[in-house]
Structures are given as structure tokens and as C-alpha cells.
Amino acid sequence: MIEFEIPKPIANIYYNALQTVAVNMMRPVARYYDVHEHEIPWDYVNFMHMAMSQTGAGSLAPDEKKKVDDQGKERPRLGYQTLAHMLEMLSWGDSGMYLVTPGGGLGAAAVEAAGTPEQKIKFLARFRGPKPTFGAMAMTEPQAGSDTSAIRTTAVLDQATNEWVLNGEKIFVTAGKISLLDSDGLVVVWATIDPSAGRAGMRSFVITAGTPGVQVTKLEHKLGIRASDTASIVLQDARVPFENMLGSAEIVRQPTTKGFKGAMATFDATRPLVAAMAVGVARAALEFLKEELSRRGIEIRYGLPRQKQTNIEREVIDMEIMLRSAWLLVIKAVWMADNRKANSKEASMSKLRAGDVVTKITQRAVEIMGPLGFSQEFLLEKWFRDAKISDIYEGTGQINRLIVARHVLEYTGRDLR
């Protein structure tokens, strides 16, 4: 059964501690790292690495091993639920800084979704080492955004050396540079082994930092989440070991949609987490708005008929409803992920709703605050800028609407585009 209260293990171990981090380590320097784009907040990075190492959470990929209590009963899996609460709170602190949290990130999520048990052990262990390590996932290309079948980065097997040779360019890679800074970092690159096969030719390859032929060529200057680097990466005859292709042996050589399904499984796991990040930013903006209204003598009178409330009261209550609805969709999607239930529809619903909600809440909060909402005196205008990315990366709002519609109408991708 889905629980809507914060599970005690999460509240006791993570939530209170993370709130302290968000209040004391993130909020005070959020403006600095917004202005000094791409500067790495090493104090935060090193602290989070130490804290996660001490709690056994050395990777942002959830620990999926079965655990039992003293009576031998299996404990409920809380991996993705824990991550949702963690990401919501850290994004309430600062979403850009959260994206520089050490751990596997999207790279680890891709390994978790598409890798074999042996590959998970091998690659995820990198993020539990003695120093901060990062992971990224590279899918988008200059000509291939939402249309993944248009990916042109190629992977050709060199029979003589039993290595894959990758060539192509990836853009908008979140944490792409920092993941390649250290020898233990990695980037999961999506490429095709057969360009004529469309999605059936797609495969994912783990490229470790220091691989010859891999070069970061550009860092984007962005509207928001400026503490996080967003990189362009060029692959020129980059060679990776044969076993660095994620997945079982049966999908290695012949075109099959299992490679594409591995990518989609990654998104089913990560889209609710991106939605949790959006909820954190929206909550920050809404709480700030209510505090400022209260400071000016404007209190929200709950329980009155709407016709007896002021316009501002109605708007704030409507924003609270939107925020709560988005969070409940997140909780449902991550609960399903933890309980091994297919959650593609729910993952897209949560991402779609949260991306829409955070954009509306931050924009309306800026409008209600007037010139002060537009001023850098407060972080509200920053949250407004940070919000929009939630509706774009990990699948745009339009793409997630299509996915939800296909599930509801029982259409295939070919039937509804």
C-alpha cells in the first residue's frame, strides 16, 4: 500500500539532516554559484560525499538489495522513495547545487536500468570510493533531441581488438565535464550499432574518464541551474572495452528494441526524481511567497468559501493544491518503482505535472511580489529561472503528454505521434 507519510527510515536518517544541509550549506551560497557559473561548490561536494559515505549511500543510485528484519521478514524497498525525498529537499535548497552532488547521477541510473548484475557491481562501485565521483548520461545530439531514433553517434565493433569504436557528438550533457574530470567518473553514451535500424540499433556504452578520443568541447551558459555544468562532448575514435556495452549478451550484436527499452527504463526511473526536484523548487517559491505576504500582514484564511476570500488567498490556495497534486504523483511513481511495478505512465505523469506546476508557481509568485519578485534581492527570480528546465530535460512536457496519451488510449508510438 502506498504511504503518504514520510517513511520513518527516511525521516530519521535523511530528511532532518538534509534540511540542515539545504538551510545552512546551500541557501547561503545559492546566489554566489548562480553568478559564478560552472564554479564547483567543493565545500558542499566534499561534505555530501563524506555524509553519504558514512550513511552507506555512496551513490545516488538506489540500493536495490533485499533486506530483512530481525524476524527474517523482508523490509519494504525504499530506494527510489528515499531519493525522491532527498532530491526534493536538496532542490529546495538549490537545484543547481544539487546537480553537483557526488554520486552516479543519470549515469548510475542508466547502469541500474540497463546493466547486467555484473555490470552494476563493476560500475556502481566507482561511486562508493574514497573521493567524490560523478556520472552522466549522454543522449541528445544536435539533430536528435526528443526523436531518439535520429541518433547518429555510431559504435562499431573492432573484431581484431574486441573493442567498440565510437564516433559522434553529444550536447546538453548534464554534469558532463565534472564526470570526466576524475579517473573514476563515467558517462553512459547512447549510440547506434546500425543506423538503418532506427531505435532497434540503439545501445548504451559506459565510457570512463580518461578514455582517448573523448573531449569536452563546450559548456553551455544557461538560464538557470548555473552551478551545474551542461557540456558538449565529441567522440572521435573513442575505444571502449567490449563488455562496456550495457545489457545481456543477446542484445550485443543484432538490432533489437531491447537497447531502446533500456533507455526508456532509465527514464521511468529518473523522471519521477526530476519531478521531485521540480517540487522542491516550487515549494521554495511558495513558502517564500507566504512568508513575505505574512510579513506584510496578509494571512491566508483557510476554510472560508472562495467568494469570501481575496484573490491572493485563492491564488495561494490553488498553488498549494497544484504542489500537493504534483508531489502525490511523484510518490506514486517512485513507490511503483520500488515495488517492481511498471510505471512508465506514472513516471511521465509525475514529470509532466511537476514541470508544469513549478513553472506556474514560480511565475505567479514573481508576479504577486511585483518588482521585488524581479529583484535579485531575493532568490525568487532565481527559482523562476531554475524552474523551466524541469519541463525540458528528461523528456519535454510535450513528449510526456504523448507518452501518457498513448497509455490512456492504448496507442502505440506509431499510432500517436
Q: State residue 21 phi and psi, 5-degree precision.
A: -60, -45
Can you tell me whether residue 16 is helix, strand or coil? helix
CA distance 191 to 137: 12
Looking at residue 381, its pLDDT comes to 98
**Domain check: are 126 and 234 in the same one?**
yes
CA distance 150 to 190: 11
C-alpha cell at 333: 511513481
Q: Among 104, 139, 159, give the residue marking a domain's end.
A: 104
51 within a domain of the structure (yes/no): yes
CB–CB of 247/193 below 8 Å? no
pLDDT digits (tens, 9 = 90+) for 322-380: 999 999 999 999 999 999 899 999 999 999 999 999 999 999 999 999 999 999 999 99
**Domain check: are 272 and 376 in the same one?**
yes
**Domain check: are 54 and 181 in the same one?**
no
Instruction: Name the catalytic one among 64, 88, 394, 410.
Output: 394
Mean pLDDT of 254-264: 64
110 within a domain of the structure (yes/no): no
> Residues of the chain with pLDDT > 70: what percent?
90
CA dihedral 365, 270, 168, 207 (to 10 degrees): 130
Mean pLDDT of 273-292: 98
Question: What residues make up the domain containing 20?
Answer: 8-104
pLDDT digits (tens, 9 = 90+) for 187-219: 999 999 998 888 888 899 999 999 999 999 999
112 within a domain of the structure (yes/no): no
**Domain check: are 148 and 61 in the same one?**
no
Annotation marks residue 394 as catalytic = yes
CA distance 120 to 34: 34
Structural domain total, the chain: 3
CA distance 152 to 390: 26
**Domain check: are 270 and 389 in the same one?**
yes
416 within a domain of the structure (yes/no): no
CA distance 337 to 346: 10
Question: Residue 76: pLDDT band by 50, 70, 90 thresholds?
Answer: confident
**Domain check: are 307 and 401 in the same one?**
yes
CA distance 104 to 51: 15
| Total residue length of the chain | 417
Can you tell me whether residue 2 is helix, strand or coil? coil
**Domain check: are 245 and 271 in the same one?**
no
CATH number of the domain at 54, please: 1.10.540
265 within a domain of the structure (yes/no): yes
CB–CB of 202/259 below 8 Å? yes
**Domain check: are 214 and 155 in the same one?**
yes
C-alpha cell at 56: 552507506
**Domain check: are 127 and 166 in the same one?**
yes
> Residues of the chain with pLDDT > 90: what percent?
73
Could you tell me which residue, 242 or 255, shows the higher pLDDT? Answer: 242
Q: Among 11-20, 110-119, 231-240, name the one with the lowest average pLDDT.
A: 11-20
**Domain check: are 342 and 206 in the same one?**
no
**Domain check: are 323 and 249 in the same one?**
no
- Is the pLDDT reported for residue 59 higher than 60? no
